[in-house]
Each structure stands twice: as structure tokens, then as C-alpha cells.
């Protein structure tokens, strides 16, 4: 089967399709971000990805590709709770996705060139938007059966909290399995696979996950050659240190990593305390007392914690572009690798990873979609 990848980023959807159990390949990818296209080319070749304003695409641009599958991860900024100015469908960044759904897809139907399968990923919050209502209306008008899900990597044993919305669609008469007639609900697990994940923000006191969650130590670099390059700057620790979500290698959870990681403090992602022998709160209380007394260089008290940012490679493992170090999911000669273009800064790498999908979750969803 042939797939088109819209908002291709650094190729997470491509990688998930390659890893799923159904033979399929990406025949064209579209993205507007120059750096993302460079990374995509470095990992998947230079002839697949087009640096294109997706809002300018028309049906004739796609018919020759004869795509069976559409994979889409449109901008989340119009829908995220982290953006107080989020405007949903009225946001200019929603324009291209609305164009694909309202104009391009219906134009392909009379030509019998519309995809049989569609997968869409976005931020949690999309499910309450007007864009989602429009999306469902168009898909059903064009003869698609649809299922929606809210899933987090924690359900798949990955120590990262990153709740995301997924919409799967398949052209009738194809139907989804194991839904028991409840395909109109927003599912909290893949039908037929495990149990719901319950968000403590919704008033429950615990999370229910499918399997035990890995420790972070399986995802971090064992031979980091220059740890100082990822150390938290003293000025940041001095002013904002208490706002960080701090985890240790033995932790089973990290917070959601966003495109602003290392540039923002709150709600941008966890930092790592390498020294697990010290109690974080005790050390910080000592630091705060010293700071209150006006002591000289109180930040020195925090140094033994060995606080640092996660490296781009570690985030690639958490996002499952790379396999965790302890997992033997691939033979040595097929173990996944990942390349960055020469000269790309860590700031750009973090931005691109923060905009990406979790490859493992999308792989499992594609396996379910193709049942």
C-alpha cells in the first residue's frame, strides 16, 4: 500500500508505518519546516519530502500518488491548553488541515482516489474543538467509519506522560474490530488491548496502565561524554529551580516534552537528577534556606544533585525513534538508527522532537487500523 505523510516533521509517522505489521510505504511527504525536511531527508532519502505549504495543495497534486493511506500530524498550537491564545479552527495554523479535510479529500472522492485508511494525531484538547466536529462530519459524509482515542505512552510501558488524541478512519465497508458498537466514544485504550488509562486531572486518584512502566534508566545515555553540555545553568537553577519537574534514573515517569524544552522551565519537560543517593526535596530546602539568608552562591548546594537536561538521543528513545537500551526488539543488523544533519543545534533538535509523535503508539494504532 502507498501512503502520503502530511506534516511529516522528522518522520515519526513514516517510521511507524515501516515498523507496523502490514507492508506499506510512504510515497510522498509534505512539511513547511526547512529544518524538519532536512532531518527527514537525512533519514528517509531526499526524494520523498516536499517543503510545501500544505494549504496550497489540490487534488490533482495527489492523484498520481494513488495513496491508500493518509498519515497526518497537524499543528497542535491551535488546540493545546499550553497556549492561552489558542483559537481552534480560527487559528491561521489550522488553515492547512481544514483545507485538506474540507476541500482536498472530498475532491478526491469522485475520482476514486481518496485513501482507504486515515490516521490523525494531535494534542489532547483537539477532541473538544470545532475542528474535530467538522472532521468527523466530513469523514462520515465521505463514507468513512471512524474511531477516536486518547492515549499516553504510559499505557505502552514508556515512562513519559504525553496524552494525545488520535483519529482513525477506514472506508466503508471496512469496520473496526472489538468496538462492540461503541465506536462513537473516545476510547482510552486500543479496543481489544488492555484497559483504560485514567487521567488523575479528571478527579481519579491513580492511573491505570496496560503493563508495568519502564524505569527511565533504560532510556538514558550510559556513556554521556560531555554531561556539562546538558547541565542546567546556574542562573536558571538560582531563579527557577523549584519549578522543574525533577526525576531520577529509577523513576517511572517523565512529564510531556514540548518544543520549548531547555528554553522554558514549567510544563516543557522533566529534568534528570543523576545522583539518586540524595533526597531532592531536602537538598532544595537547604538551598532555599541559604538563599533566604543571603548566603553567597547558594546554588552550589544543588550541584551534588547533578541536575541536567535529557539529551536529544534520550528523547528519541522516549519517543521510540530509537529503541531503549535494554530492549531487544530488533536484530543487531536492523536496530534503528537516527541521523541529524551536520551542524544542527540542540535547540533545533529539541524543537523538532517536541513536535513529533510517539512512534510506538502510532505503530500499534496502524496495526489496529489495518486489521
Say what the pLDDT of residue 196 is. 85
User: Domain 2-207+357-369 maps to which CATH number in 3.40.50.150, 3.40.50.300, 3.40.50.2300, 1.10.1740.10?
Assistant: 3.40.50.150
Residues 285-308, mean pLDDT to the nearest whole number:
92
- For the segment 259-289, what is each residue's pLDDT rounded down to a tens digit? 999 998 888 999 999 999 999 999 999 999 9
Say what the pLDDT of residue 332 is. 39
- 8 A C-beta contact, residue 272 and residue 310: yes
Long-range CB contact pairs, 218-227, < 8 A, 24+: 218/324, 218/325, 218/326, 218/327, 219/159, 219/314, 219/317, 219/318, 219/324, 219/325, 220/249, 220/272, 220/310, 220/314, 221/311, 221/313, 221/314, 222/325, 224/311, 227/274, 227/306, 227/308
Percent of the chain predicted with pLDDT > 70: 91
pLDDT band for position 124 (cuts 50, 70, 90): very high
Say what the pLDDT of residue 202 is. 57
pLDDT band for position 85 (cuts 50, 70, 90): low
Q: Would you kindly state where each structural domain of the chain is located, as residue ranges?
A: 2-207+357-369, 216-354
pLDDT band for position 210 (cuts 50, 70, 90): very low
- For the segment 6-54, what is each residue's pLDDT rounded down to a tens digit? 999 999 999 999 999 999 999 999 999 999 999 999 999 878 999 999 9
pLDDT band for position 88 (cuts 50, 70, 90): confident
pLDDT above 90: residue 194: no
Q: What angle do CA 204, 218, 200 make, to 5 degrees?
A: 5
Long-range CB contact pairs, 33-37, < 8 A, 24+: 33/9, 33/352, 35/344, 35/348, 35/351, 35/352, 36/8, 36/9, 36/10, 36/352, 36/355, 37/8
139-153, 165-179, 221-235 — which is least confidently predicted? Answer: 221-235
Q: Which one is catalytic: 76, 255, 256, 326?
A: 76
Residues 299-323, mean pLDDT to the nearest whole number:
96
Instruction: Establish whether domains 2-207+357-369 and 216-354 are of one fold.
Output: no
Say what the pLDDT of residue 72 is. 98
pLDDT above 70: residue 201: no
pTM across the whole model: 0.94
- 8 A C-beta contact, residue 365 and residue 190: yes
Residue that is written with C-alpha cell 515512562 in the block: 159
- For the segment 217-257, what is each residue's pLDDT rounded down to a tens digit? 999 998 888 888 999 999 999 989 889 999 999 999 999 99
Please say if 326 is a catalytic residue.
no
Say what the pLDDT of residue 211 is. 44
pLDDT above 60: residue 329: no
Domain 216-354 in CATH 3.30.70.2860? The answer is no
Amino acid at each position: 500500500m502507498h501512503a502520503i505523510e502530511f506534516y511529516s516533521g522528522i518522520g515519526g509517522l513514516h517510521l511507524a508505518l515501516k515498523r507496523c505489521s502490514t507492508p506499506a510505504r510512504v510515497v510522498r511527504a509534505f512539511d513547511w519546516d526547512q529544518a524538519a525536511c532536512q532531518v527527514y531527508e537525512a533519514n528517509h532519502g531526499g526524494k520523498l519530502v516536499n517543503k510545501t505549504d500544505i494549504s496550497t495543495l489540490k487534488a490533482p497534486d495527489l492523484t498520481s500518488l494513488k495513496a491508500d493511506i493518509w498519515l497526518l500530524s497537524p499543528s497542535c498550537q491551535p488546540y493545546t491548553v499550553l497556549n492561552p491564545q489558542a483559537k481552534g479552527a480560527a487559528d491561521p495554523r489550522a488553515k492547512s488541515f481544514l483545507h485538506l479535510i474540507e476541500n482536498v479529500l472530498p475532491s478526491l472522492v469522485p475520482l476514486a482516489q481518496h485513501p482507504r485508511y486515515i490516521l490523525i494525531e494531535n494534542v489532547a484538547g483537539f477532541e473538544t474543538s470545532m475542528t474535530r466536529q467538522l472532521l468527523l462530519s466530513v469523514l462520515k459524509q465521505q463514507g468513512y467509519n471512524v474511531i477516536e482515542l486518547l492515549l499516553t505512552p504510559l499505557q505502552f510501558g514508556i515512562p513519559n506522560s504525553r496524552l494525545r488524541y488520535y483519529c482513525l478512519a477506514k472506508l466503508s465497508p471496512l469496520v473496526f474490530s472489538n468496538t462492540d458498537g461503541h465506536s462513537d466514544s473516545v476510547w482510552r485504550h486500543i479496543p481489544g488491548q488492555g484497559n483504560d488509562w485514567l487521567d488523575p486531572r479528571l478527579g481519579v486518584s491513580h492511573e491505570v496502565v496496560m503493563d508495568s512502566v519502564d524505569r527511565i534508566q533504560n532510556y538514558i545515555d550510559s556513556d554521556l561524554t560531555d554531561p556539562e553540555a546538558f547541565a542546567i545553568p546556574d542562573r536558571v537553577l538560582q531563579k527557577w529551580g523549584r519549578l522543574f519537574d525533577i526525576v531520577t534514573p529509577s523513576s517511572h515517569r517523565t512529564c510531556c516534552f514540548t518544543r520549548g524544552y531547555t528554553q522554558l522551565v514549567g510544563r516543557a519537560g522533566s529534568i534528570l537528577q543523576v545522583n539518586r543517593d540524595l533526597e531532592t526535596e531536602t537538598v532544595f530546602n537547604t538551598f532555599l534556606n541559604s538563599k533566604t539568608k543571603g548566603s553567597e552562591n547558594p546554588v552550589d548546594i544543588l550541584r551534588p544533585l547533578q541536575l541536567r537536561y535529557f539529551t536529544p538521543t534520550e528523547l528519541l528513545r522516549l519517543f521510540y525513534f530509537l529503541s531503549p537500551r535494554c530492549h531487544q526488539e530488533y536484530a543487531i543488523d536492523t536496530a534503528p538508527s537516527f541521523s541529524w544533519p551536520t551542524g544542527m543545534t540542540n535547540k533545533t533538535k529539541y524543537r523538532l522532537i517536541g513536535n513529533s509523535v510517539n512512534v510506538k503508539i502510532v505503530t500499534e494504532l496502524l496495526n489496529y487500523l489495518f486489521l
